Each structure stands twice: as structure tokens, then as C-alpha cells.
Amino acid sequence: MCVQERESILRGLAQNDSLRLIAERIGRSPSTVSREVARNGGKDAYSAWDAQDRADTRRARPKTCKLESDRRLHDAVADGLAKEWSPQQIAGRLAEDHPDDETMHVSHETIYQTLYLQARGELKTELKLALRQGRVQRRPQGTTRPRQARIADMVNVSERPAEAEDRAVPGHWEGDLIIGKGGKSQVITLVERTTRFTMLLKLPYDRTAARTASVLASNIQQLPEQLRRSLTWDQGVEMADHATFSIATDVPVFFCDPHSPWQRGSNENTNGLIRQYLPKGTDLFWYTQAELDEIAARLNGRPRQTLGWRTPAEKLQEFIASA
């Protein structure tokens, strides 16, 4: 923040403007302005020039990177990065695992700054080599999906049980295919809505409706009964044989509206993470089920903010144990 912005804050305070209005005027977030005022005497004692002097002093003071000064914290962060956890996941899980040990707490901003701005020499090498790279959102680039056709006897996602919507009860899954090089190979992705637990299933040779139904059924049948409640899919023709799948598993299939990926948002987001391991243009035919299981295990071992920094594997096990 520059001295001109601080002078604008001072003028706004003198006019009894709200912090939100001041923030909008100078193009800053309300929380930034609130912290600026609070750390410099509050509304009644704020001085733009004193605030600028303090900022200049803080900027000039040499600081030791927290991850450089504490090897134990550094190693914990490096361990999380090696598991492909994001800095936010690492920070959240450290706070969860060490609630009473402030020395093991670090913000994700600090981790990013260490990786890109502050770290030097060996520390930078150790951490940055482990940093998770790659796009985390899917971007449409044409399609390799077979031409769409009307699927008989579809039941719309709007008729899915209410318990699936609020994620209170596990066992409701979202599914899709990720397609390999030239549209000639494919892998089934399944995500459980409550725990975000992920399964990757090898779908060899082709994605005909009969083969898709068979692979899905054989794997879903291996789950505990309380985890077999429903499956949500888009209107891809690979699920045209959904009735056969439902008869074999007693799991109803619900179909999203056309061009509405947000209706199975957990699966769509997870597909973006999976592309870190199975990039677009990869021939998926050569991946074994064991290799796909290893990728799923890495995803299921990442702590998630939406799960209170527990991992999908931990949350799923909790539900199974309490059932």
C-alpha cells in the first residue's frame, strides 16, 4: 500500500466513511483496509504518514524465512509437497495435527512466498522440486466423446434423493470418463459426494455401453452396502445401458442436464486433479489398474478444507466404522 492510498484512507475516516466504501475507492479489499487501520492506531488515531513510516521500517528489516529457521516445520511442508498436497492443504493439516504447537503452524501464503520469493539454495531446491504443478481446472478443448444420443428411460438429477444434495449421507457417487490420446482410450472416474473419495477404473478397449456398465457394476458391487446409494452421470452414451447396471447393483442412475457439469461438480473438479497424473494427450490404455489405484490413493490422501482438513480416505473410514 502506498502513501497516496493511506492518505485516501485518512480522508475517508475524517468523513466518517465506512471501511468498505474506502476500500472500494482505492481498489483494495475491505479486509486489507481494516487491517491497515487496526495496526496503525484505529479509526480515531490513524495517521497516513506514521503508517507509511512503519511500513517502510518493516520492509527494510531483514527477515528470516520461517521455513529456513525451523527445520522440523520445513520437513513437514516438504513431506506434504512430496504427496502433491497444495500449500493450503499443508497449512490446514498442520494446524489440525498440531493444534497446540504454534511452531508447527504456517500460512499457505508463507509457503508460496518461500517457494517463489524468499527461499535460497538447498531449501528452495528441496521444496520447489516437490511443488505440485499443473492445471487444476478442466478446460474444454473440443471433444472426443462419441456423438450424443438420447438415452432411454433417463431419470433426471432433479429427482435424486435430498440426502444426496446436502451430502449428509455417504454412498452417493458422481461419475464420468476421462479420455486419452485421439479419443481411443478411457478411464472411469468416480467420486463419493460426502467424503470426496475417488476411484479410478480401467476401461479397456472401448467405451461401449455394455462394457461401461459391466466394469462399473463389478466394482460398485465390492463396496459396502451403505456406500451404494446412487450414481450421477452426464448424458454420455457410454451410460446407455444404465438399466443393466442398476439391476446388477441396486444403484439408481441419475442424469445431469446437457452441458451442466456443475450438477456433478465434485467429479468435475476431481477430474481436473487427475489430469495432473493423466495429462491430456496421454494414451490411457497402457495404465494398469494397480497404477490407477495408486493415483487414487494419492488423491484420497490429500487433506481437504471442506472436510476440516481430514483426507477423503479418513472420512470414508470414519463413516464405515460408525455404520
Q: What is the pLDDT of residues 188-230, one digit of tens each?
A: 999 999 999 999 999 998 999 999 999 999 999 999 999 999 9
Give me Rg for the CA atoms of the chain.
Answer: 25
* Length of the chain (residues): 323
Is residue 162 within 8 Å of residue 264, measured between CB atoms?
Answer: no
Query: Between 69 and 129, whose confidence is greater?
Result: 69
Is residue 187 within 8 Å of residue 292, measured between CB atoms?
Answer: yes
Q: Is the pLDDT of residue 283 over 50?
A: yes
What number is the average pLDDT over the span 79-97? 89
Q: Is the pLDDT of residue 89 over 70?
A: yes
User: Phi then psi for 161, rounded to 5 degrees?
Assistant: -55, 145
Grid coordinates standing for 180?
486419452
Separation between Cα atoms, residue 229 and residue 277, nearest integer Å: 29
pLDDT of residue 282: 94
In the structure, what pLDDT confidence band is assigned to residue 78 with cuts at 50, 70 and 90?
confident
Nearest C-alpha neighbor of 264 from the set 234, 304, 284, 230: 234
- Give me the percent of the chain exceeding a pLDDT of 90: 51
Separation between Cα atoms, residue 191 and residue 172, nearest integer Å: 9
- The tens digit of pLDDT for each residue in 3-61 reads 778 888 888 998 889 999 998 888 888 888 999 999 898 988 888 888 888 887 776 55
Separation between Cα atoms, residue 28 and residue 10, nearest integer Å: 14
Nearest C-alpha neighbor of 224 from the set 316, 117, 126: 316
Alpha helix segments (H runs only) across the chain: 3-14, 19-26, 30-38, 48-60, 66-69, 71-82, 87-97, 108-113, 121-128, 162-165, 209-220, 242-249, 265-274, 289-300, 312-322
Q: Which are the contacts of 58, defined by CB distance < 8 A and separation ≥ 6?
A: none
